[in-house]
Amino acid sequence: MCGIFGYIGNNKQAADLVLTGLKSLEYRGYDSWGIAAVNEGGRILLEKKTGKIGAAEFNFKNHSRIAIGHTRWATHGGVTVANAHPHLDCTGHFALIHNGIIENYDEIKKALLKIGHRFISETDSEVAVHLLEENYKSLIKKNKTNSQDSLFVEALKITFSSFRGLNAVIVLNAKNRTFGAAKNGSPLVLGFGNKENYLASDSQAILPYTNKLYFMEDQELVLVTKDQIKVFDLISGKEKSIKPVSVSWKTETEDKGKLPHFMLKEILDQGKVIKNIVTDSDENIKKFASLISSSFGTYLVGCGTAAYACLTGTYIFSKIAKKHVNFSVASEFGYLIDFLTEKSLVIGLSQSGETIDLIDVMKKAKERGVKLGAIVNVLGSTLYRMTDNKLLLNAGVEKAVVSTKAFTAKIAHLLLIAYALTGDINKGKTELRKAVEILEELFKPSSLNAIKTLATKLYRHKNIYIIGRGISYPIALESALKIKEASYIHAEGFAGGELKHGVIALVEKGTPCLAFLPNDETYFDTLSGVMEMKARGGFIIGIGFKNHEVFDEFINSGDCQMASGIPNVVVGQLLGYYLALCHGVDPDKPRNLAKSVTVK
Ligand code: F6R
């Protein structure tokens, strides 16, 4: 969470450059944004605003060759201008931006207040800049011989080492016109230019300027000037020799064309994405299949939508490959890893490859010597870099905060891996091709209009319940998530069999009840659940391969056997999208969310 961008060099439009960088990072948080630059007299110029950056502009009176900026996803403190980053120390020497959570901020703040520091915000982040000011001041007092740069590095080292939690901070030192940054957990990338340097939370923001990158490791600290970047070990304080990498990655840009939202574009992209997966080389699919078959226990781990893809995977592997794979939500997996051994395999699934709950637990598994794999969309992301075995989703940039095509791309890959385990990868490809044909039908204007009309019938309801069994259970969960996050309607997915164990108490006359009924062994059991809901007055929306008289509404999602989760979830995605429109929500940036969740 939180986008970070910094520039230092000869370009006098540093602040504009930072604004451009922030726009490309806004998906990391859009509660507020802010930029700090330095005028010729060494004074910090600050611009902070709440809300999305959109077409924001600003007018610093002086041009600056150094600037940092931040887009915020609020953790500590509400969405206000005061709480927006950067934060300044009492003397106007330092401007600081932060990503993460300083877990022990309250005790540090109390101590700083006692010695007279003035706080403007309610954030944990602001303590960092005041503590830095304090540490720098006392080092200056004690030490007259060392250079200001080395005292700055030392002060930042002491300051950062007092924080508990996973954090990254970047400090603009207005007097020396340098940046200092330290990291433990949250991602930071440095870009090496010609007499100019860059710093960002994401390589994509730097790639338009340079492809010479260094991905900071945890427990590293850097000092950045326009001419050089020095990296230090945070524990020993010793300078490290590092090698930047020259990457051949391109800046991935995505245009929504004439479509009103990225979410719709990305839903409609899914046919093409799956077609590409089918025609891609099988090499990595087979590699993952052999990794799984040679491991003693495979665990699929992810968060949110990625977690539901993992859960879908457990059904896919059981049905197709007769193989038990385990599933865990990444934030819980850390409490379950005591039994992992060197023979275990943990596969992290992620769109961004930056989700901290996942990265954190992958690191813990790595420390136990466990084999790691990654199924990830973003090339060069932390997850991509930390694993030897990686499979790129190749779904293209996903811009809408609500994840869609990355989910179906994960399902398609898991399906092919499961079929590869049986030695019949082509069967998987046939099913995926059939899924593409069904999607083409679903994306015809008449089908889209039918779902849109359905949304207009449902949007005034406060609750929507969704059931599915077997592979359709995680599809019900994922569809409910799409509806919740895009439209703010309370939607809940259930295992069809659980209905009568409590949930049915919520069904009353007119309650919208969605049921997934693909052509598989779950059909008749799910249909019984549908009857039970109907008997209580539920308004039944059947999604499946054939209509039934019990349905009040029916959406045909065809039959593509084990790939049926793909068209079924697409119906859920479209319903979420159209419900969002009915509620006037921007489905690309729903409230309170961020595309990349890099705090715990
Ligand atoms: C839901 C959504 C989130 C993400 C989750 C994991 O639409 O986008 O639930 O799926 O935050 O993100 P990644 O896949 O980037 O690890």
Same structural domain for residues 375 and 421?
Answer: yes
Task: Record the tokens describing residue 544, joined without a space.
Answer: 């499946």
CB atoms within 10 A of CB 437: 13
Active site residue 303: no
Same structural domain for residues 564 and 522?
Answer: yes
Same structural domain for residues 241 and 269?
Answer: no
**Which one of 262, 352, 398 would you pick to mutate in the ligand 1 pocket, going by the greatest count of ligand atoms within 8 A of its CB?**
352
> Rounded to 5 degrees, what angle do the CA atoms 452, 454, 458 make?
115
Distance between Cα 402 and ligand 1 center (Å)? 8
CATH of the domain at 20: 3.60.20.10
Closest CA to 247 of 216, 203, 217: 203
The long-range contacts involving 188-191, CB below 8 angstroms and separated by at least 24 positions, are: 188/4, 188/215, 188/216, 189/213, 189/214, 189/215, 189/216, 190/214, 190/215, 190/216, 190/222, 190/224, 190/229, 190/244
What distance in Å separates the CA atoms of residue 580 and residue 339, rounded to the nearest whole number? 43
Give residue 74's pLDDT.
79
Percent helix, percent strand, percent coil in the chain, to nearest 5: 40, 20, 40
Instruction: Verify whether ligand 1 is closer than 6 Å to residue 266 (CB atom).
Output: no
Instruction: Verify whether ligand 1 is closer than 6 Å to residue 557 (CB atom).
Output: no
Cα first-last separation, the chain: 10
Q: Are 417 and 285 in contact (CB under 8 A)?
A: yes
Q: How many residues does the chain have?
A: 600
* Residue whose CA lies nearest to ligand 1 atom number 11: 304
Final residue belonging to a domain, choices 219, 246, 273: 246
* Position 194 in a domain: yes
Q: Are 146 and 161 in contact (CB under 8 A)?
A: no
* Position 446 in a domain: yes
What is the tally of structural domains in the chain? 2
What distance in Å separates the CA atoms of residue 499 and residue 486, rounded to the nearest whole number? 25
Give residue 595's pLDDT.
76
Closest CA to 218 of 179, 180, 181, 192: 181
Closest CA to 229 of 196, 183, 270, 276: 196
- Domain with 130, as residue range(s), is 3-246
Same structural domain for residues 489 and 445?
Answer: yes
* Residue whose CA lies nearest to ligand 1 atom number 8: 403
* Position 74 in a domain: yes
CB atoms within 10 A of CB 388: 9
Same structural domain for residues 227 and 111?
Answer: yes
Give residue 592's pLDDT.
81
* Residue whose CA lies nearest to ligand 1 atom number 16: 350
Block means of pLDDT (10 residues each) for the chain, length 600 residues? 89 91 81 91 91 74 86 85 95 94 95 96 96 95 82 96 93 96 90 96 90 94 96 94 84 81 96 96 96 96 98 98 96 93 97 94 95 94 92 92 97 98 98 98 98 98 97 98 97 95 93 98 97 96 98 98 98 98 93 77
Active site residue 2: yes
CATH of the domain at 508: 3.40.50.10490
What are the two backbone dihedrals, phi and then psi, of residue 29, each rounded to the nearest 5 degrees? 165, 135
What is this structure's pTM? 0.88
Instruction: Verify whether ligand 1 is closer than 6 Å to residue 306 (CB atom).
Output: yes
Same structural domain for residues 424 and 316?
Answer: yes
* Position 598 in a domain: no
* Position 597 in a domain: no
Distance between Cα 285 and ligand 1 center (Å)? 23
Closest CA to 316 of 433, 465, 475: 475
* Position 255 in a domain: no
Closest CA to 13 of 67, 57, 55: 67
Same structural domain for residues 230 and 268?
Answer: no
- Return the half-sphere exposure (C-beta side, CA atoms, 13 A cut-off) of residue 564: 27
Final residue belonging to a domain, choices 246, 270, 290: 246
Q: In this structure, what is the dihedral angle of CA atoms 216, 218, 219, 224, given to the nearest 10 degrees?
A: 20
Same structural domain for residues 514 and 402?
Answer: yes
Final residue belonging to a domain, choices 246, 280, 314: 246
Same structural domain for residues 507 and 481?
Answer: yes
Same structural domain for residues 438 and 532?
Answer: yes
Alpha helices in 162-261 (DSSP H): 203-206
* Position 599 in a domain: no
* Position 271 in a domain: yes
Same structural domain for residues 401 and 494?
Answer: yes
Instruction: Verify whether ligand 1 is closer than 6 Å to residue 305 (CB atom).
Output: yes
Q: Is 444 helix (H, G, I), strand (E, B) or coil?
A: coil
Same structural domain for residues 340 and 443?
Answer: yes
Instruction: Verify whether ligand 1 is closer than 6 Å to residue 597 (CB atom).
Output: yes
* Residue whose CA lies nearest to ligand 1 atom number 5: 304
Rg of the Cα trace of the chain? 26
Helix (H) or strand (E) holding 574: helix 565-582
Distance between Cα 303 and ligand 1 center (Å)? 6
